[in-house]
C-alpha cells in the first residue's frame, strides 16, 4: 500500500499523477556489461552425485576415525 501522488491542475484542483513503475535493479547493473553475459571458462561443473558421494565418503571416514580412536582409548 502506498500513497497516491497528486499534482496541481491549472484551475487550482488536483489530479492523480500517473504511477511509473521503475525497476531499480536495472540501475544497479553496469551498462558496460549489460549486453553480454559473462562466462567463466575456468569453472567445471561437478556431477552432483559425485559431490554427494564425496561428502558421504568424508563423513564415513570421519566416523571410522572417531570410532577407532575411542576404541583404542586415544580420544578418551
Task: Evaluate if residue 1 carries a pLDDT over 60.
Answer: no
Q: What does the pLDDT look like over 62-72, one tens digit per residue?
A: 999 999 999 89
The number of residues in the chain equals 76
> Which residues 6+ apart lie within 8 Å of 14 measured at CB?
6, 7, 8
Q: What does the pLDDT look like over 18-58, one tens digit per residue?
A: 766 676 676 666 666 555 666 777 878 889 999 999 999 99
Q: Distance between CA 12 and CA 5 in Å, rounded? A: 16
Query: Model's pTM, two decimal places?
Result: 0.43
Phi, psi of 67 (to 5 degrees): -65, -45
Amino acid at each position: 500500500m502506498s500513497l497516491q501522488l497528486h499534482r496541481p491542475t491549472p484551475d487550482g484542483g488536483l489530479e492523480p499523477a500517473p504511477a511509473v513503475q521503475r525497476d531499480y535493479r536495472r540501475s544497479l547493473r553496469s551498462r558496460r556489461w549489460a549486453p553480454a553475459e559473462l562466462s567463466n571458462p575456468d569453472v567445471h561443473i561437478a556431477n552432483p552425485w559425485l559431490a554427494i558421494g564425496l561428502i558421504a565418503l568424508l563423513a564415513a571416514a570421519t566416523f571410522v576415525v572417531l570410532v577407532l580412536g575411542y576404541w583404542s582409548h586415544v580420544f578418551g
